[in-house]
Structure 1
Amino acid sequence: MDTIKWGIIGCGNVTEVKSGPAFGLVPNSMVWAVMRRNGALAKDYAERHGIGHYYEDANALLDDPEVNAIYIATPPDSHEEYALGAIKRGYPVYIEKPVGLNAAAAHRIADTVANTNAKVSVAHYRRKLPAFTCVQQLLTEERIGKVHAVDLRLWKAAAKENAGWRLDPAISGGGYFHDLAPHQLDIMLRYFGEPLQCSGISRGDDQRVPDIVSGQLLFNNDIIFNGSWNFISPENEITDECIISGSKGSIRFHFFRDFDQVTLHTAGHTQEFRFETPAHIQQPLIAEVVKYFRGEGPNPCTVAEAAIGMDMMEQLTSQK
């Protein structure tokens, strides 16, 4: 496969800056066609981004003989259908997070990948952003000694009036927790492996769309994770912070606010690391996905890993 010629299914907001332009900026990659159910919007996107082909039907894009890889950027309710359809046609596939509507859907995709040896990656792009790779390096170097605990808080003010489909569980699978927690839990999996125990409680007017979640994880080596998510927080209480504590100090970083910086505290000494965040935030991961699809590197994020994250979300919200 000399050049990856992408077909994008679902050219909505996430593809405008975060991902779409990056496909044409990494080596051996370009966007050949896009699809959106609203044909006028698909045409508009293609024209604005210099893409030569557009469709309003996913099957038409999947049948385009020039397309040789698929990026699924629709809401979660259609991820499974489009992923299985693309895999059936022999395409390598890159899927937005959360990988499926729920854990069961994620595992069905993972099982299909395992049974077909298809190449499928998930868009957990924080894995390749410099701040998060810095934290991983600090942990590898044991700069804070033996890790004891992780404390994570994401408190955001209520914003239901602009939520769109994210608060419709039939489309999103859940609310803001379902939309944002996959990034955080995936990084925990990346750093510490699959948890040995996972439990939590949640509340909300609709239990399928929790507005507050509290949970605990136990990782290998007796590492305890405490997580608190509050999506109806007062404005003066909003926070986004993760603290990893060890026998010699701590590491502080953020997931959605100021995630271009990491702070290391050890023995009375504070060191700050600052990084430049890519203009197209998925570009570092997409570069690795292209290498994987071309047989030049490992899979940077598997569906099986993403399915574990989906299991964790359902356990934390007491849905499993």
Structure 2
Amino acid sequence: MDKLNWGIIGCGDVTEVKSGPAFNKVPNSSLVAVMRRDAAKAKDYAQRHGVPKWYDNAEQLIKDPEINAIYIATPPLQHEAYTLLALAAGKPVYVEKPMTLNAEAAARMKAAADKYNVKLSVAHYRRAQPMFLKVKQLLADHAIGDIRFVSLQMLQPPASNLIAASAVNWRLDPAVSGGGLFHDLAPHQLDLMIYFFGKVKQATGIAVNQACLYPADDLVTGQLLFENGVVFNGTWCFTVAPDNSRDVCEITGANGSISFPVFGSKVILRRDGQTEEFIFDLLPHVQQPMIEKVTNYFLGRGENPCSAADAIASMQVMDRFTGK
């Protein structure tokens, strides 16, 4: 196999700009088919994006002999079933985050990939973005000395503009999303922590529904102890006043600190009484660097940028924080 012909299952809002167009922009990759259960919307997406084929049935897309790689971008409830179908058909899968509803389901997906010997990657795409690669490099360079602890705050009002738009807000239905807005945003943040600091030794947390605006928890707090001794404290609250919105992660070391927003474009390094800022351009398609890495992996030209085992680690943390 020297080129990937992708099929997308679930061509909703996340695929409009963040991911979909990127499949035609990376080398050795093209988007040849999309699927959505609403046939009219699938056809409309295909026509607007110049995609040759569209389906309203996932199994038909998976069986299409022209398609040799599958991107699953449905709500998490469908991730496991579609991943298992694609893997059984021998087609590598790139699946959206969160990987699925919980760690048990994620483990079944990994087991299927192992059973069929078919490649599986998870869309924790911040791992491939220049901004977070810079943070990882600063840590590798020991820029702030030995790391002591990490503090993260994700505070948003109920009408946050960070939450992806959709006709029906399935993100607030735990049966579909796995939890709520925490399950939509925290996978990015927790995966980065694991990417930066390695294996988790201990995880504890609290999850509550304070405002009762919807069935899911709206406040989650969590604490991690990594095997290397780094301690993490995180707070996610989705019912604060707009003026109290906050998106900040601060890594404190023996000789300084590194701070950045997970949904922003600036890294601030403080050490020796000096402050240095690193500003990054916003990417037109935020998943493009990751899709390029996944494409190379599927073609046997690189390592897996985010394996099932990597994603299971963050799913386990989310389950511990929310008491699952």
TM over 0.5: yes
Residues 1-320 of structure 1 mapped to structure 2, 5 A cutoff: 1-159=1-159, 164-204=169-209, 205=212, 209-256=216-263, 259-319=264-324
Q: Is the 8 A contact 1:129 1:277 kept in 2?
A: no
Q: Tell me, which stretches of 5 or more residues in structure 2 are unaligned?
A: none
The separation in 1 between residues aligned to 2:295 and 2:74, in whole angstroms, is 20
Shift of 1:206: 9.1
Shift of 1:208: 6.8
The separation in 2 between residues aligned to 1:289 and 1:153, in whole angstroms, is 30
The separation in 2 between residues aligned to 1:196 and 1:207, in whole angstroms, is 33
What letter corresponds to residue 46 of structure 1 in structure 2? Answer: A
Q: Tell me, which stretches of 5 or more residues in structure 1 are unaligned?
A: none
Residue by residue, what CA displacement relative to the aligned partner does 1:256-311 show, whole Å, maximum 9, x if unpaired? 2xx21100000100000111122000000000000000000000000111111111
Q: Is the 8 A contact 1:248 1:266 kept in 2?
A: yes
Residue by residue, what CA displacement relative to the aligned partner does 1:12-40 show, whole Å, maximum 9, x if unpaired? 00000000000000000001111000111
Q: Is the 8 A contact 1:10 1:35 kept in 2?
A: yes
Shift of 1:220: 2.4
Q: Is the 8 A contact 1:260 1:274 kept in 2?
A: yes
Shift of 1:221: 2.8
Which secondary structure state, in structure 2, belongs to the residue aligned with residue 70 of structure 1? strand
Which secondary structure state, in structure 2, belongs to the residue aligned with residue 37 of structure 1? coil
The separation in 2 between residues aligned to 1:221 and 1:51, in whole angstroms, is 47
Residue by residue, what CA displacement relative to the aligned partner does 1:180-201 show, whole Å, maximum 9, x if unpaired? 0000000001011121000011
Residue identity over aligned pairs, in percent, reads: 51
What letter corresponds to residue 166 of structure 1 in structure 2? Answer: R
Query: Aligned-pair RMSD on alpha carbons?
Result: 1.5
The separation in 1 between residues aligned to 2:47 and 2:215, in whole angstroms, is 39
Q: Is the 8 A contact 1:130 1:277 kept in 2?
A: no
Residue by residue, what CA displacement relative to the aligned partner does 1:177-233 show, whole Å, maximum 9, x if unpaired? 011000000000101112100001111149972111111100123211010111111
The separation in 2 between residues aligned to 1:260 and 1:63, in whole angstroms, is 40
Q: Is the 8 A contact 1:77 1:172 kept in 2?
A: yes
Which secondary structure state, in structure 2, belongs to the residue aligned with residue 196 of structure 1? strand
Which secondary structure state, in structure 1, belongs to the residue aligned with residue 135 of structure 2? helix
Q: Across the two proteins, how many residue pairs are aligned to each other?
A: 317
In structure 2, relative to structure 1, the CA distance for the partners of 1:30 and 1:185 (3 Å cut) is same
TM-score (norm 2): 0.95
The separation in 1 between residues aligned to 2:238 and 2:214, in whole angstroms, is 14
TM-score (norm 1): 0.96
Shift of 1:140: 0.2
Q: Is the 8 A contact 2:90 2:116 kept in 1?
A: no
The separation in 2 between residues aligned to 1:170 and 1:318, in whole angstroms, is 15
The separation in 2 between residues aligned to 1:115 and 1:57, in whole angstroms, is 25
